[in-house]
Amino acid sequence: MSYDDPKSPSPTGRRPFRRGGAYVAVAALVPAGLAGWLLWQVASGSEEQGAPGAQTAASPSGSQSESAAPPEKNPDGEDEEADKGDKGGKDGKGDAKSTASPPESGKGGKSGPLEGRLIVIDPGHNPNNFRHPKDIARLVDIGTGRKECDTTGTSTNDGYTEAEFTLDVAHRLRNALREQGATVRLTHNGERRFGPCVNERARMGNDWKADAVVSLHADGSGAGNRGFHVISPAKVSGGDADTGRITGPSRELGTRIAGGFVRSTGSKPSNYIGSGTGLDVRDDLGGLNLSTVPKVFIECGNMRDSKDAALLKSADWRQKAADGISEGIAGFLKG
């Protein structure tokens, strides 16, 4: 996902998809001691600061990443794409519609501390989005306004796309959670023509009555901006959006994931968002606004910074990222 700076040119010469929206200061919502708690776990020292400036990927290029983990065959179909009918189709209101039925609780998982829990993983964007610019540009209702169905996401300077990254981490995270007994579903597995749209992604977690939902992303900010951050929903109410009951649990989920991510990867919280806590709150993301179950986004690093990009392209680091997110989810669900 990207935080666009209108003065920052796209490397492809195309105008990036805009992701405007107000940021809500996390300090007002997160206890003051949280910053110290997170930073205590991080190795000392600080990263150089840089001005935000995001860019998106126009199309997948030759990837310079290490080999991605292949999808694990799933006989129960738990992580298959939700809409097996009209892929990228529309309902009467023009929004993509999920027709999948909820999976059985605990199905497909091993015995473990998360047995009976259903977790939804939402890999940000879709490797095929760039082929369908008109479809993903279609506006959908996010409760407090209207935004694009989806975007292409961003990429590293040498062409490793955010959509490739998120699918790889999603597969690793799925496997880690299953080892603890969880049932896991993915909002898509890369086989759709495009999307799902952001409103459908939210609806899947709601319809499946997920215990937790995590949307995986990587940022596209300016060089020098480094680190991860986790985004939880602000309290919003309008249209189909009403996050009043999930803001607290989502913040707790985000805090747990941030802690697990630090411990597993050794990465530091963002030096440009979240005031050093690694936590942010937003009211302009449809995937959060429309959720009725605890949900967060995680921006695992900045694809436009060379040091962060090297980590994101490393298979070993991606496994550590998945393990850290899994640790945070498990801590949240076990209380």
CA angle at 116 for the pair 103 and 100, rounded to the nearest 5°: 10
State residue 30 phi and psi, 5-degree precision: -110, 135
Q: Please list, in sequence order, all residues whose beta carbon lies within 8 angstroms of the beta carbon of residue 42, skipping any fewer than 6 positions away.
A: 262, 268, 269
DSSP conformation letters of 23-69? EE-GGGTS-THHHHHHHHHSPS--PPP----B---SS-----SPPPP
Q: Please list, in sequence order, all residues whose beta carbon lies within 8 angstroms of the beta carbon of residue 261, skipping any fewer than 6 positions away.
A: 228, 230, 267, 278, 298, 300, 321, 324, 325, 328
299 labelled catalytic? yes
Catalytic-labelled residue, pool 81, 162, 299, 327: 299
Point out which residues pair with 23 in neighbouring strands.
282
Among 28, 24, 5, which Cα is nearest to 16's? 5
Alpha-carbon gap, residue 122 to 125, rounded angstroms: 9
Helix axes 33-41, 247-265, angle to 10 degrees: 20
Residue 208, SS3 per DSSP: coil
The CB-side HSE value for 114 (13 A sphere, CA atoms) comes to 29
Whose tokens are 């459908």? That residue is 200
Active site members: 299
